[in-house]
Each structure stands twice: as C-alpha cells, then as structure tokens.
Structure 1
C-alpha cells in the first residue's frame, strides 16, 4: 500500500460519515471488528465524528440542541450505529474543542436502539481512576529559545495545555513518532498525541505511519495528516498558509466539504478568508535537523574559543581546491593543517563541510609542539568501510614514548594507545555509514585514560607511571612510519569522513563530553 493513501479501514470511516448507506453488510462488519480490536481506529473514528459534528454546528449558526431519533430505515445499519455509539459518545463527551471559541458543548447524539433480541450490547467499561495529565510530547531539540513565563514546558515535557514561544526555535517529539518544529513568536496548544492547535506562529509536522491522523488546527483550518509532511503558518493578522511537502493531507474548512491536498501544493488565506494558491516553500520552515545545525554552530564557537584548544578543525572552506585546513582554535600555537590528498565533502548537515578519506595516502599533516600533563581529543567520524586490519583517525609519525595514537580495527572497535604505556581496545564499535562521536581523556596527573563513544564511557585504562604527553609531526588520516631507509611511508588509510576534530590541553569532564555529543547529534 502506498504511504500516501489511506488504509481500507480509514476509507470505511470516511464513507460512513459521507454516506452511511454506502457500506455493504460485509463492510459494516469489518468496521465493527476494527473498532473493537484497534484503539487507533477508535481514535480515528472519534476524530472524524467530532470534526463532522463541529462542522455541521458551525455551518448552522445555531445553539446546539439534542437531535430527535428517527425511525430506522433498515435492519442491519442501526446495529452498526449502536455498536459504535459508545465510542462516538465518549469521543464527544471528552470535549475535543475542534473549533475553539464557541463556548458551547457539542450537540448530543441520540441513537436509535433496535429491539432487545437483536441488539448488540456494548461491553461494560470499568470506571477510570483520576490520574495526573500524561506527558504528550518532549522537547527534542531547540535553538536560542525562550518561553513566556507561565507558558513553558516543565523540564522539557509538554502536558496538555497552552505554550507561548517568545524566542528561538524548538522541535516537539511525540511518543508516536510525530515531530513538530515551531518557530517563534508562537502560541500553541498541545491537546493530545494526535492533535495540536496553532494560534499564532509557524509549525512544520513530520508524521510517520505511527502518527497517522495527526491534526494541526487553526482558527480557520483543520489539517489532518494522511501520512505526510506539512507546514502551517498563522501570522498576527490571522493570514494563514498550508504547505504540503510530501504525501497528502485532508483539509477541513468551515462550511466546505473535506478536500485532499497532495505533495508540493500550498494554499493561503487572508484575514477575510479569501483563498489563493501559492508555491510550496520547503525552505521556509524549520526542521529538527536545521535547528540542530544552528545549535551546533553556537556550540562550536564555544569550543574554538576555549583557551585550552590546541587545534579545532571544522572542515569549512571557501575553496574545495584548497590544500589548507584552517585551525579555528583562537588561542592555539598549532598552525593550520596541510591537506595531502583527500576530498572536501559534506558533513552531518547539508550546510556542513567534511573531509573524505578514500584513497591511499589521503591525510592532513600538522605539527603539535610542546608537552602536556592532560589532553582531551574529540571527533565526529563516519566510517564507510573497514578495508584494513588497522585504519588511522589520528596518529603521530612513529609511536614514541608518550605519543597518543587513535586507530580503528576491522571490527570497528577503537584501538587507542599511549607509546611506552598501553594499548586499549574497546568492546563497543563504530558502525558503518553513521556519524559517531568519539572522545578520549588522557591524564598523566591522575595516571588514567578514559574513552567515550556517543557521549558514553566505553573503557578506561590505569597507567603504571606518570609520563608527559607529546605529539610533534602528526597526521589525520593515513599513518606515517619511518622505514629502514629513514623515509616516511604512509599506510593504515582511513575509509570514511571526519567533519569535526579537536584537541585540548585540559581534561573536559564527562558532562562536557556528553554535552558535545548532544550539541552535534541532531543531524537526521
């Protein structure tokens, strides 16, 4: 089944509200069984019933009144209505205020019951205990954000209620997989796992199959997901826009029948509800990935400004023909690196630079003077292949006492060591084709080394003596060793990308390493 098409049960629900008599006896039975067996179908039915009820009420312009039961026109259809009546009434009773501002309860729905011998009795429902409100969504990522006092999530958790985003951008992650990115200034309400109201601002929803039926509602529109990605805009004058980037949505407007909008289509409404077609603009809306990139940019400024930074390479360049790799560390004594083959490439984000190491001898050469009591090294690495028994990320020329090496085994495990002291092999490994954060702390004062993958400790080594740490001529990429003729030859070539690597003459704490991982992890 195409992800852009509703499933058969959803079509039965839609047909029921468009024309109940269009369902055959078999289709009626299928819908009844689906409502009994699947909570998602019951939620879908409640949402459709609620939208239908409120649209009819808004179109009437009257106060809601109870309807009068009408005589049955058949023998089988009232059975279906009775079977779903409990679900329908629960959905209306809990008060989905789908058109805000009416101040009235939805109209009661009277349902005719058949004769007792033929009636299908609803299952008994145990009374529910009153429990605190559930967490509906969590803050996934944010950049330079601030909420107004009294309208902020507590510890990044969104309960049902109103929120006012005064500055920045955020992404809400729902437990059903839905991600909604909101840009300030914005006022919005989190209603339930499938329903969000946007009063003012700009929001983009990315909805997986597990969140099918997710709704973003405004004062003019109800936009219902059919397996898609879409954006909604409401400005301070109530001009509104709907952009569909993938899949389909079902658009509900007051006094109009539901309408399907498909990929790359967009509509706009002015304050007087006049509608026009516009071009869909994918770049006009934030995503968790674009927010993550901005957050990383801010964090990278902190790293390069650290007085202990010996080098900080972010692999940004003005020319992909350049052999110069700029050291961004502001207070460093280490000169820029020299690219001796290697390919300028794309990193974790489309806007981010990286260095691709693919061919024999691909490397960056640099020289790190001095001796150190403590160092921390961190890098983001994406391994494409493990062609060799050992592949080099960062090594000194040779492997003298006190020199630190960082290699990877064919299994993807870290193979790191300190010349004259120890070699360390991690049980954890770096997967292929995925960006991974790696860090190492070497402390000659505490006589200990600790290693991390994706912000979590994966091993530590105790030293048997104190030894100063040193580097001198070094490479990122292929390792240089001196042969019997005194020549430097290169091997252990890397097969992957690096888009950030830094060396500090101090110990970054475990919390700082975890923060560095978190700050750079929203890239997909």
Structure 2
C-alpha cells in the first residue's frame, strides 16, 4: 500500500467516515507492515494534540458547546477506540500464535525459472539459518546472471523478466534491488506499491507495467509501458516525478530526470526458449535491407544494408536459401544499428562461408562479422576493444579481440564450411579471455599468436562500429577490407553455446539450446 493511500485511510478513520471495507484494509496493513503502524501511531498522536488544542481555544471563547458537536466527538472517540482495540487484539493474537507455531520459510520469498542456456549463481543471506531449496529467493538472497534470462514470480503476484548480464537482491517481498541488468515488471491489481531500487533510482509502482535498464557504468533508465510509476533519483538533485504510460526518463550526472524516447521493444516480456539471439538468413529483403529474425530485444536495430552498393546484385544461392556474395569492393559491407556485445560478456557467432581467395601475404581476407571501437590501425595497438571473427592470411580462421586465436584448417577451398566461435566468460574478474573455434561442427585446434589485455569490447564509444557483416573493423576514416566470397546463415547469440548446440546449428541450422543444470551457492 502506498503512503498516500495509507494516510487517506487514516484520515477517513479519524473523521469517522471510513467504510467497513477500508477499515479492514487498514487493519490488515497495520498488522503486516511495522512502518505503516508507526505512521498510524504518529498520525493519531498529532490528531489528539490538535483536538486538545482546538477544544481549549474554543472553550476559552465560549462556555456553550453545541450538543451536536458533543455527540459527534463521542461517536468519533468510540469508533477510534474500537478500531485501535480491534487492531491491538489481532496483533496480540498473532503474537500469541507465533509462540506456538513458526512457519517454515516465513520470510518473504519469490520463485524463479530460467530459459535454456542460462548461467546463474544464487547466494543466500549467511545469517539466515533456513536456506530454501531449489530456485527460490528469500530476503537477502542474491541472484547473478552471466548469460540468459530469468523469470521472477513474487508472492504478491508481481512478475518480472530479467536479461543477463544482471545481478539482483531481494530486499523484501515488495522490493527488489536491481544492481545491474535489463528488467521488465508486471504489477497486477492489488500489488500496488511494489518497489525497484537501482544504483541511482528508486521506483515505486502505482499499478502498472514498466521496464528498467540498470548499468553501473552508464545512466539508469525507466520506461513506463502501462499505468504509472513514481521515480526518484538518488544523486545530488534528488529529483522526483510521476510518470505515465509512454513516458521514459534517464538520470543524468547530478540527479535530474531527462526525458528520453520510449523504448518498450528493448525489454523481454516473456521467457524465451533459447539464449537471446539474432539471425541473418539473407532470405528476407525489405526496404533495401536484409531483415533479421530472433528473440533479442534489439532485433529492430539489426536490419543489414550495404554501405553504398546496391543490395540485389549481392544476393546469391546460399547453403540454405539465399546468401550474400561479396567481391571485395568497398561499400558492399553490410551495416546494422546493432551495438553488439560489450566488455567481456560471453558471446557466440556462427555462419556458413564459401571462398577460394587465400593470399599468403598482404592483407587478411576480411572479417565475417565484427563490432567495437578501433583505437588505431597501428599493429602495435592492442585490439581488445574490438571483436571480430575473420578469415586470415592463407585462408585460416582468426579471432581478434584480446588474444589472437588462429585455426589450423584452410577454409579457402571453394566449398561451404560452417564456422562458429564461442567466447567464454573469464573465470576471474581480470582473467584471460578464452575462445573455442568450431569448423563443420567440430572443435578446431588453435594457436594463440600473441596475448593482449582481457577482451573489453567497447560498444558505446562515439567512434564504435556497430555490428558489421563482410568487412573488417577499422577507424571511421580508414576504408575497411571487404570479404571475397559467400556468407550465409549468420547467428549472433548473447551467451556461450555448448558443443552440442554448435553441432545442432551445423546439422539443422536451428537455434536449439540445451538447458543448463541448477547452479547455486
């Protein structure tokens, strides 16, 4: 129950106009919410003081008190006394019952379930002697997602879909701390007052559906999809506002709420049946662009169009349906508005390729897919801020983005080959990045040419290149190297796929992901 609603009920009680139903709501709130009881007692003390002061002042002016006022006060006093007595009796009764029976897992909790391929860690409050079994969070429990998606179901009926990377703590049955992540919330009737706290925002639901983007390295956002929310910033300005359907705000550096375009499409509203992914089949063309399929919220940013060349001459017969054919001409590279996957977050890409171009010196054949911020085109500059899967000198597959991993199979034989790469999350915070390369469904042996810092792909730099297909990643003022050959069925998964899933992609070209075992601590 919101503070405004609580105060309204207390006012109706003190005025003697409260309905039986509202009286029952008030009593229930007082019994289960100590903070509400404190507000109630404070309000009653203030009301009694005002009544005494008013009575003294009026008595000083006149000794004649109308009988109607006396009767009204008596009725009001009787109702207040009866309400307090009833509440006190119920509270005392509950306290007595608690002495005889303490229910197991009495603290507020929620249950959750995950999409296939999700990796998570669940930890519980060390001071709590009762540890719930299975996929259950109690007050103080923390859930961390390194990849995948989770669906939360609160006891109040509130539901949420949270996409990795994410970390959250259940602070009470009515409040979730979202330290990091993108989350959608649906609050049903009767559960108003549900709260979400981020590093920079306090959000109180007023009966609604809303989404939150929380990122410690960026500015938090709230998007109202239905109803209303009250949002307050935690920074210097402590600005507060009530937002309605279609309104969105982002906090700035000093705590102001800046209006931003609504983006409901950036939130998942149901649990997907795979890891979030985007797929370019090159079979569907609209508005002079190849349209993508998939279940990732950024799907609308994924249309791929040539930088300068006409699209139709690039379409060729593919491994499945149509493919895109590159001849090395600058301007043929396919551009999207998709930022790509940032930092050291896990990722997987897969595609079919065919080429017979394999120079032994000079430049690489070019990237198949890549993104990020190219700091410099100098070979002496670390390349950990970009990430690309490419065909290198001699026709050998090459991964760039932290350590350089080079395959041992020459793919420039003019035949179709399925190429896949999985980037695993670091085992420690600053640990090395590990990649696994697959060719035609099998793990490829690789050699590491040199080591750089951990992969830290920059996707939000002003000069970052969005996801590009068929060309290398260079600075904006440097022409890219365009691929020579055919590319088909490009998949980008937001997470690390296992060997069985890569094999399935090779065999059936379908994004099936096996479920992951429960991981708790």
Q: Same fold (TM over 0.5)?
A: no
Higher RCO, 1 vs 2 (CA within 8 Å, ≥6 residues apart): 2
**What range is the shorter-chain TM-score in?**
0.3 to 0.5
Q: Normalising by the residue count of structure 2, what TM-score does the alignment of the two structures yield?
A: 0.39
Higher strand fraction: Structure 1 or Structure 2? 1
Q: Normalising by the residue count of structure 1, what TM-score does the alignment of the two structures yield?
A: 0.39
